[in-house]
Structure 1
Amino acid sequence: MDEKDLKHTISPHFIKVRLISEMITNIIGFIVLLILYWLDGYFQWPDWVGWILHILLILTILGTIWDLFEPKYLYRSWRYGLDPEYLYLSYGVIKKEWVTIPVTKIQSVSSTQGPLMKMYKLRSIKVETMGSSQTIPGLDEPTAFKLKEEIAEYAKLKEEES
C-alpha cells in the first residue's frame, strides 16, 4: 500500500494537546534552569558550571522553538490504514517511517488517554506484537474505539483461520 493510499489521519486537536504538553515540559525545564542559575550564583560554583548552564539554556530555547512547529508537522505526516490483512502506519517529520503490521502478528490492542487528551476527547491506540509495539496518537474517541475493535476483530478472525 502506498502512502497516498493511507487516507486516515489523527485528530487536528492533537496539535493543541501536543503544544500544551510540550509547553508544560519546557516551563518546568526553564524553572529548573533558573534554580540552577541561582544556585550557581549563591554557592559560587566554578566557571565551567556557568558555561554548561549557558549551553543548556541555549539548547532549551532551541528545543522550545522546535516544539512550537513540530506538532503541526507531526500531524501532517501521520497516516494509517487498515485492511483484513495488514495495519499500515506512516509517520515522521525528519525521518519518515512506514510500518506494515500483519494482523496475524498482533497480540494486543489497547487504548490510553491522559488528562490533556481527555479534555479534547482524544485517545491513543497501542498495537503490540511479539517483537514490538506501535502507537497511533491523538485519535478522536469514536474513531479510536472503532479502530481498536476493527483491529481486534481482524486479528481474531485471522487467528481462527490459522
Structure 2
Amino acid sequence: MSEKHLENRLSVHFPKMRMISDGLVNLIVFVVLAGLFWLNFYFEWPAWAFWVLIALLVITIASTVWSLFEPMYLYRSWSYEYDEEYLQLKYGIFKKEWVTVPMTKIQSVSTVKGPIMKWFNTRSIKVETMGSSHSIPALDEEVALQLRETLAAFAKSKEVDES
C-alpha cells in the first residue's frame, strides 16, 4: 500500500484530554517525589539517596515538559480510514505505524469512555482480532458509536460471505 493520507481524524478535543490526563499523572508523581524529599530530610538518608531523588526530579520535569507538546504531535499524526475490506490506522511521532486490519479478521469492536472522556463527550474504539488489539484513542461520541456499528456490520457481513 502506498503512503496516502487517510481521511478521518481524532476528535479535536484529544490534545486537551491528553494534557489533562498527563497533568494529573505528573501531579501525582510530583506529590510522591515531594514526600520522598521530605522523608529524605526527616530521616537523614544517605547522600546517594538525595542524588537519586534529584535525578528522578529532573526526569520528571523533562517528561512534564514533553507532555505539554506530545498531545499535539500525536493528534497531527493520527488518522484512520475504513471501507468494506479494511480498517487502516496511521499514527506515530518518531516511529510511524501503518496498520491494516482486514474486516474478515475482526472479532469484536467495543467503545471505552473514561472520566476525562465523559467531560469532552468522546469515546475510544477498541478492535480485537485473533492475534492483536488495535485502538483509536479519541473520537466524538456519535462518530465512535457509528464507527463501532459500521465495523461490526462489515466484519459480520464478511464472515457471512465466507461461509
- Specify if TM > 0.5: yes
1:2 Cα offset (Å) = 3.9
1:72-111 map, 5 Å:
72-111=72-111
In structure 1, what residue type is equivalent to 2:157? L
2:139 is matched with which residue?
139
1:127 is matched with which residue?
127
1:3 Cα offset (Å) = 4.2
In structure 1, what residue type is equivalent to 2:72? K
TM-score, scaled to structure 1: 0.98
2:67 is matched with which residue?
67
1:13-92 map, 5 Å:
13-92=13-92
Q: 3-state SS of the aligned residue for 1:117?
A: helix
Distance 1:12 1:25, change over 3 A: same
Q: 3-state SS of the aligned residue for 2:149?
A: helix
1:10 is matched with which residue?
10
Distance 1:124 1:3, change over 3 A: farther
1:5 Cα offset (Å) = 3.6
Q: 3-state SS of the aligned residue for 1:69?
A: helix
2:159 is matched with which residue?
159
Distance in 1, matches of 2:8 and 2:40, equals 51
1:159 Cα offset (Å) = 0.2
Distance in 1, matches of 2:7 and 2:28, equals 37
Once the two structures are superposed, residues 113-156 of structure 1 have per-residue CA deviations (whole angstroms, 9 ceiling, x without a partner) of 00110110000000000111011011001110111111000000
In structure 1, what residue type is equivalent to 2:17? V
Q: 3-state SS of the aligned residue for 1:4?
A: coil
Percent identity, aligned pairs only?
A: 57
In structure 1, what residue type is equivalent to 2:19? L
Distance in 2, matches of 1:4 and 1:73, equals 19
1:48 Cα offset (Å) = 1.0
TM-score, scaled to structure 2: 0.97
Distance in 2, matches of 1:39 and 1:122, equals 41
Distance in 2, matches of 1:3 and 1:21, equals 31
Distance in 1, matches of 2:132 and 2:101, equals 10
Q: 3-state SS of the aligned residue for 2:93?
A: coil
Distance in 1, matches of 2:3 and 2:155, equals 23
Aligned length: 162
